[in-house]
Amino acid sequence: MNQDRRGINTICTHAGELEDKEYKGSVSPLYMGSSYAFEEVDIKRYPRYFNTPNQEALCEKIAALEHAGSALIFGSGMAAISTALMAFLQAGDHIVLQQTLYGGTYNFVVTQLEKYGISYSFTEGWQAEDFERELRPNTKVIYIETPSNPLLTITDMTAVAKLAQKHDLVSMIDNTFASPVNQNPIDFGIDVVIHSATKYMGGHSDICAGTVACSTAYRDQIWQTAICFGGSLSDYTVWLLERSIKTMGVRVKAQNENAQKLAEFLVEKDEVDEVYYPGLPTHPSHALAKAQMNGFGGMLSFELKEGLDASEFMKCLRLIKPSMSLAGVESTMLLPVKTSHALMSAEDRAKQGIKDGLIRFSVGIEETEDLIIDIEQALKQVKSKTVLT
Ligand SMILES: *Cc1c(COP(=O)(O)O)cnc(C)c1O
């Protein structure tokens, strides 16, 4: 277990810093070498071995952030997810995954696993009993996402971790939506914590990366697979990611605060039907979220009243950008039915409760009042247009 129990902002800023011994610069020096002398060193350093100086230093920060023994950094969230899964699965094995899964992970599972002889099941719901129902004698991995995309469901991590321990399974979580600032699953017994660092860790919509945090024994197992798949991140981007994470605590706390205020504002609007945010006392798992999260996060979703066109509403926004990705310092919105969940059948979407008018909102760090003004004016416009037609 990583012993760095300093506060989140201190870890973000200082954990795993590389000292500039030569010039005493105040930031980690960047070592871009792809070739290192092998004499008198017992490890062969090489970018695809995940062990250059900058990679190792950033891994220390990631491990500290997630209270893990070790970490690995990848070229994307999907490289981290696919490598971690393949490290623990082989022909004849079975995996149970949460039904409300990130689209890329879902695609990986349904298009890749079968050809390796690995079978899979998706849960009906998102609690431990839903996972238990899908277990088979050859199940090896349980995979969860909490809060989930786009409806922000909350899964009880302790219950899932206990289930995994009871059956000797590896439990994995995609912790991207929460970020390490708001949720540390290892404290609740989850084995492997994965992030798309493209999101809150990067935070400025300009880096694509992924991370895995876990025990050193599990890290070594994932490492073996990682070296074969080769999904490492360039040292320059590793260095940029270190810089980004320095402000992650400050950014995410501001996003938590903004999201809470905006959720409360949206609940009060006549034009809005439903608001999904774990920080609202009316969220069905509010108490659970409070128990296992340090903050409720910067992601929320809402539905416009029947008859109000969500696409039209999005077109009327002036400050908030329509955008595919999430977790940047800038506020963005998207329609899951047109983007992240477009490939899913209407029937499957209905099963998951994703309505056509659902809007996913990634709340940024702008002044709350400016975001409210933007939403107010867009609602007003879409309402007047609806009356006219
Ligand atoms: C974006 C995302 C991923 C995939 O990450 P990439 O960096 O795009 O490969 C995985 N899980 C979640 C929840 C995400 O939002």
C-alpha 259 to ligand 1 mean position (Å): 20
pLDDT on residue 72: 98
Using CA positions, which residue lies closest to atom 1 of ligand 1? 196
pLDDT on residue 38: 79
Q: What residue has token string 């969860």?
A: 144
**CA triplet 215, 118, 48: central angle to 5 degrees?**
50
CATH class belonging to 8-245:
alpha beta
C-alpha 113 to ligand 1 mean position (Å): 19
C-alpha 223 to ligand 1 mean position (Å): 20
Using CA positions, which residue lies closest to atom 4 of ligand 1? 77
C-alpha 22 to ligand 1 mean position (Å): 38
Q: Are 301 and 353 in contact (CB under 8 A)?
A: no
Ranges of residues in the chain whose predicted pLDDT is under 70: 1-4, 39-42, 387-389
Q: What residue has token string 């903050």?
A: 295
CA of 78, closest atom in ligand 1: 9
Write down the domain spans for the chain. Answer: 8-245, 249-388
**CA triplet 165, 195, 13: central angle to 5 degrees?**
115
pLDDT on residue 387: 63
CA of 145, closest atom in ligand 1: 13
The pick from 102, 241, 360 for probing ligand 1's pocket by mutation, whose C-beta has the most ligand atoms within 8 angstroms, reads 102
C-alpha 196 to ligand 1 mean position (Å): 5
pTM of the model: 0.96
Cα separation of 169 and 267, whole Å?
Answer: 40
The listed CATH number (3.40.50.800, 2.60.120.10, 3.40.50.2300, 3.90.1150.10) that belongs to domain 249-388:
3.90.1150.10
Binding-site residues, ligand 1, Cβ < 6 A: 76-78, 102, 104, 149, 174, 176-177, 196, 198-199, 208, 210
C-alpha 177 to ligand 1 mean position (Å): 9
Using CA positions, which residue lies closest to atom 7 of ligand 1? 77
DSSP 194-226: EEETTTTTT-SS----EEEEE-HHHHHHHHHHH
